Structure 1
Amino acid sequence: MFQKHFIFGLFCLIAFQISSAQDKPPVKFGDVSAKDFETKVYSIDSNASAVVIADVGSCTVEGNRKGWFSVLTKHYKRVHILNKNGYDLANVSIRLFSNGEDEEILEKLKAITYNLEGGKVVETKLDNKSGVFEDKLDKKNKIKKFTFPNIKEGSILEFEYTTTSDFINTPDPWEFQGAYPRLWSEFTFNVPVFFNYTFLTQGYLPYTVRTAKEEITNFNITDPGGTGPSAHYSFSSRVIANRWAIKDVPALKEESYTTTVDNHIQKIAFELVERSAPLAYYRYIEAWPKVANNYLNYEYFGYNLTRENNFLRDISKSILTGSESKEVMSRKIFEWVRNNFTCTNYHRVLMDHGLKAVAKAKSGTVAEINLLLTALLLDNKIEADPVVLSTRSNGFAYSIFPLMSQYDYVICRAKINDKYIMLDASEPQMGYGFLPLRCYNGYARVMSKMAPAIDLLADSVSETKSTLVFVVNEGNGKYAGSMQQTPGYYESLDIRDKIKSKGVEQLQKDIKSAFGSDVEISNFGVDSLKNLDGPIGIHYDFMLDDVTEDIVYINPLFGEGYKDNPFKSAERKYPIEMPYAMDETYTLQMEVPQGYIVDELPKSMVLKLNEQEDGLFEYRLSHYGESISMRCRLVFKKANFLPEEYELLREFFSMVVKKQSEQIVFKKKK
Structure 2
Amino acid sequence: MNKTLLLLAFLSYFALSAQTFNSTDLRVTKDDLTLNTYEKDSTANALVLYEQGNSYFHKHDHVLITEEKHKVKILKNEGFEKAIIEIYLYKNNSGTSKEEIKDIIATTYNLENNELITSKLDKNNIFTEKYNDNYSIIKFTLPNVKPGSVITYSYTLMSPFMWNYKDWEFQSDIPKLYSEYRASIPGNWLYHKKLIGTEKFVINNSEIKKNCLTSFNGGKADCEESIYAMKDIPAFIEEDYMTSERNYLARIDYTLKTFKSMDGIVKNYTKTWKDVDKEFKTENGIGRQLRKKIDFETLLSPEIINNKDALEKAKAIYNYVQNNYTWNGDYKLFSDFTIKELTKTKTGNVSAINILLHNLLNQTGVSVKPVLLSTRPNGYPTKIFPVIDDFNYLIVKATINGKDYLLDATNKFLAFGELPYKCLNYFGRQLDFKEGSQWIDIEPQSLSRIIYMANATINENDEITGTVTDKLTGYDAYFKRKSYFENPEEYVDELINNTPFIDIYNHESSTTKKTENSFSETYNFEYTIDDNINLIYLNPFIVKFFKENPFKLQERTYPVELGYKRNYLYNYVIDLNNKYKVQELPKPTGIVLPNNAGDFSFSTQQLGTKVIVNFKLSLKSVIYPTEYYPYLKEFMSKVVDIQKNSIIVLSKN
Per the TM superposition, whether the score is higher than 0.5 is yes
How many pairs were matched up?
625
Alignment partner of 1:207: what SS?
coil
Matches within 5 A, 1:618-657: 618-657=601-640
Residues in 2 aligned to 1:622 and 1:285: alpha-carbon distance in whole angstroms: 65
The amino acid across from 1:351 in the alignment is: S
Q: 2:279 aligns with which of 275, 283, 294?
A: 294
Larger mean Cα displacement after TM superposition, 197-206 or 320-329? 320-329
Alignment match, 1:492: 477
Letter in 2 for 1:238: D
Distance 1:394 1:439, change over 3 A: same
Within a 5 Å distance, the mapping from 1:149-298 to structure 2 comes to 149-220=143-214, 232-276=216-260, 278=262, 279-298=264-283
Paired with 2:357 and 2:490, the residues of 1 have a C-alpha distance of 35
Counterpart residue number, 1:137: 131
Q: Which of 48, 62, 79 is the equivalent residue of 2:44?
A: 48
Cα shift at 1:57: 1.0
Q: 2:558 corresponds to which residue?
A: 574
Q: Which residue of 2 aligns with 1:306?
A: 291
Shift of 1:142: 2.1
Q: Is the 8 A contact 2:176 2:232 kept in 1?
A: yes
- Is the Cα–Cα contact under 8 Å of residues 186 and 213 in structure 2 kept in the other structure? no
- In the superposition, relative to structure 1, how do residues 172 and 277 fare at CA in structure 2: closer, same or farther (>3 Å)? closer
Secondary structure class of the residue paired with 1:654? helix
* Letter in structure 2 aligned against 1:109: I
Q: Is the counterpart of residue 343 in structure 1 residue 361 in structure 2? A: no
What CA distance in whole angstroms lies between the structure 1 residues aligned with 2:473 and 2:101?
51
Aligned to 1:356: 340
1:668 aligns with 2:652: yes
Distance in 2 (CA, whole Å) between partners of 1:64 and 1:375 is 53
Q: Contact 2:24–2:178 (CA<8 Å) still a contact in 1?
A: no
Code of the aligned partner of 2:56: T
Query: Which residue number in structure 2 is paired with residue 520 of structure 1?
Result: 503
Deviation at 1:573, TM superposition (A): 1.8
CA 1:324–1:125: 2 relative to 1, 3 Å:
farther
When structure 1 is superposed on structure 2, of 240-249 and 599-608 the one drifting more is 599-608
CA distance in 1, matches of 2:68, 2:428: 34
Distance (whole Å) between structure 2 residues aligned to residue 44 and residue 318 of structure 1 = 70
**Is 1:550 matched up with 2:545?**
no
| 1:102 paired to 2:105 | no
Q: Following the alignment from structure 1 to structure 2, what is the Cα–Cα distance between the partners of residues 252 and 531? A: 38
More RCO (CA 8 Å, sep 6+) = 1
In the superposition, the TM-score normalised over structure 1's length comes to 0.89
Q: Secondary structure of 2:56's match? A: strand
Q: Tell me the residue number matched to 2:312.
A: 328
CA shift, 1:531, in A, is: 4.4
C-alpha spacing 1:54/1:594, structure 2 compared with 1 (3 Å) = same
Q: Does 1:659 align with 2:642?
A: yes
- 1:383 aligns with 367
Deviations 1:277-300 (A, max 9, x none): 743223222222321331232212
Following the alignment from structure 1 to structure 2, what is the Cα–Cα distance between the partners of residues 329 and 141?
46
1:91 is aligned with what amino acid? I
Instruction: State the secondary structure of the residue aligned to 2:628.
Output: helix
- Choose the corresponding residue for 1:452, options 398, 418, 438: 438
Tell me which amino acid in the other structure corresponds to 1:524. H
How big is each residue's C-alpha offset from its partner over 1:329-368, in whole Å with a ceiling of 9 and x where there is no partner?
3222221221122222353221322221122221122122
RMSD value, Cα: 2.2
Distance 1:37 1:344 in 2: 51
Q: Which moved more, 1:508-517 or 1:69-78?
A: 508-517
Equivalent pairs: percent with the same residue?
26
How far has the Cα of 1:153 moved from its partner? 1.4
* Matched AA of 1:451: S
Alpha-carbon offset, residue 112 of structure 1:
1.6
Instruction: Using the TM superposition, name which of 277-286 and 194-203 deviates more.
Output: 277-286
Aligned to 1:480: 465
Instruction: Please say if residues 59 and 74 of structure 1, whose CA atoms lie closer than 8 Å, have aligned partners that are also in contact.
Output: yes
- Higher percent of residues as helix: 2
Please state how far the C-alpha of 1:254 moved relative to its aligned partner. 0.6
SS at match of 1:252: coil
C-alpha distance 55-368 of structure 1, shift in aligned 2 (>3 A): farther
Describe the superposition over 1:198-242 as per-residue Cα deviations: whole angstroms up to 9, x where unpaired: 111111111000000111234355xxxxxxxxxx44422110012
Structure 2 letter corresponding to 1:521: I
Secondary structure of the residue that 1:339 maps to in structure 2? Answer: helix
- Letter matched to residue 460 of structure 2: G
Q: Which residue of 2 aligns with 1:122?
A: 117
- 8 Å contact 1:601–1:665 — kept in the other structure? yes
| Native 8 Å contact 1:218 1:237 kept in 2 | yes
8 Å contact 1:305–1:378 — kept in the other structure? no
Question: What secondary structure is seen at the aligned counterpart in 1 of 2:376?
Answer: coil
Q: Return 5+ residue gaps in structure 2 as ranges.
A: 1-21
* Consecutive aligned runs of 4 or more in structure 1 exceeding 6 Å deviation: none
State the AA in 2 paired with 1:140. Answer: N
Change (3 A) 1:336 1:572: same
Letter paired with 2:112: E
Structure 1 gaps, min length 5 = 1-24, 222-231
CA deviation digits over 1:482-539, x for unaligned, max 9? 11101233233222332344x323322333344352x222221122141413111110
Pairwise mapping of residues 560-571 of structure 1 onto structure 2 (< 5 A)? 560-571=544-555
- Give 1:15's aligned residue: none
Counterpart amino acid of 2:509?
Answer: V
Q: CA–CA distance in 2 between the matches of 1:267 and 1:319?
A: 56
CA displacement 1:374-402 (0-9 Å, x = unmatched): 22222323222221111111111221111
Instruction: Quote the Cα distance in structure 2 between the aligned partners of 1:300 and 1:26.
Output: 50
Q: Which residue, out of 12, 31, 37, partners 2:33?
A: 37
Amino acid at match of 2:582: V
Match of 1:80 among 73, 79, 94: 73
Q: Retained in 2: the 8 A contact 1:348–1:410?
A: no
Instruction: Provide the secondary structure at the position in 2 that maps to 1:332.
Output: helix
Query: What is the one-letter code of the residue matched to 1:104?
Result: E
1:538 corresponds in structure 2 to 521
Task: Name the counterpart of 2:15.
Answer: none
Amino acid at match of 2:54: S
